[in-house]
Amino acid sequence: MNNTHEMLTLQHLYIIEKITSEGSVTKAAEKLNLTQSALSHQIRDLEAASGVKLFNRIGKKLVLNEAGQRVVSSSQKVLPVIRELEAELKEMREGKKQTIRISTECYTCYHWLPRLLIDFHEEYPGTEIQIVAEATRRPMEYLEAGKLELALVNGTNNNSSLHFEPLFEDRMVALLSDKHPLALRNTLLEFSDLHSETLVAFQISSDSNLLSPDLVSQLSPKKIIYIPMTEAIVEMVRFGMGITIMAEWAARQYLSTGGLVTLPFRSEIGTRHWYACTHKDRSDALSGLVDRIQSALLGTENPVMA
C-alpha cells in the first residue's frame, strides 16, 4: 500500500457504515446508488485514506479486520452527531428553528418585546429570542463579531455589510427635583442654565458614558457624577443632589412616583435617531421580527418602549 494517504472524510465513514449494516458490497452499492465497481473504487480510496487495510477479503466477501472495526466504532459515535447537526441546519435553512439574539443601546428598552413576540411566535414558532444584556454597552461590536443578529442603536456606521432600518426619534430632556429652582421657574432650559449645576449621568463602563462628549461640553456643568444605575441616579435627583439628562420617554416613567419634573431645552439638543441594525444577509424570521418592530415604532415620538 502506498505510504502517502489522504485524510478520512465523512463520505468514507458513510461508506463503511453502509457496507457493515448491509453485510455485503452488492447490497451496500444498491443502497448508495453506486455500481459495484464504483463502490470497490471507493473502498480502495477509503483504505488509502486511512493508511491501513480495513477489510480482509475472503473470497468475494469483505470482512472487517481490527482497524476496520476501530473505524466502525468511531463512526457510530461521529455519524449520529453529524446527522443531528444536518437536521438542525436544515430546520434553520427552512426557517423552522433559529435563535435571534438582540440587544439595545438602552437598558430599559425591552418593555415592548413581550407584546410583540406573541404575534411573532405564531408565525415563527421554532424561533427563540434571546436578549444579550452584556452587549448593551457595545451592540455594534457584538453584531459585527457575529454575537448578535439584531441591534437597536441610535446611530449608523459605514459598514457595508450592515443594514439600518429607521425606527423613531427621541429627545433628551432634563429630569430634576420639583423643588429645584429651575423647576420652580418652569421655563425652557438653556445650555447656560446648567453651568452651575451638578450633572448625574449614567456610566456604561469605566471608559464610556451614555451622554456624548459633545453634549456634555455644551451643557458644561459645574460637576459631573457618573453612576452605572438608573434608579440610583433618579433617587439622587429626587433628593436635589443634582439633575440628569435622559430621553423624554424614559424620564416619564419616573414622574408618577412624585417629586420630579422634566424640562425640555429651548434649543433642541440630543435628538437621537434609532435604527434596527442587522447583517444584510438575514433569515426570513429575522426580517419578520424587524418588520414588526418597525411597524410598532416607526415615526413615533413616544415609542412603545416607554
pLDDT in tens, 112-158: 678 888 888 888 888 889 989 888 878 888 999 999 999 998 888 88
CA 121 to chain centre: 17
Q: Is the pLDDT of residue 272 over 80?
A: no
What DSSP state is assigned to residue 189? Answer: B
Asked if residues 278 and 142 have their Cβ atoms less than 8 Å apart, the reply is: no
Q: Is the pLDDT of residue 2 over 60?
A: no
Q: All 3 cell numbers of residue 59?
A: 473470497
Which residue is associated with the grid cell 429627545? 171
* 182-211 average pLDDT score: 78
In this predicted structure, what is the pLDDT of residue 298?
62
Q: All 3 cell numbers of residue 209?
A: 458614558
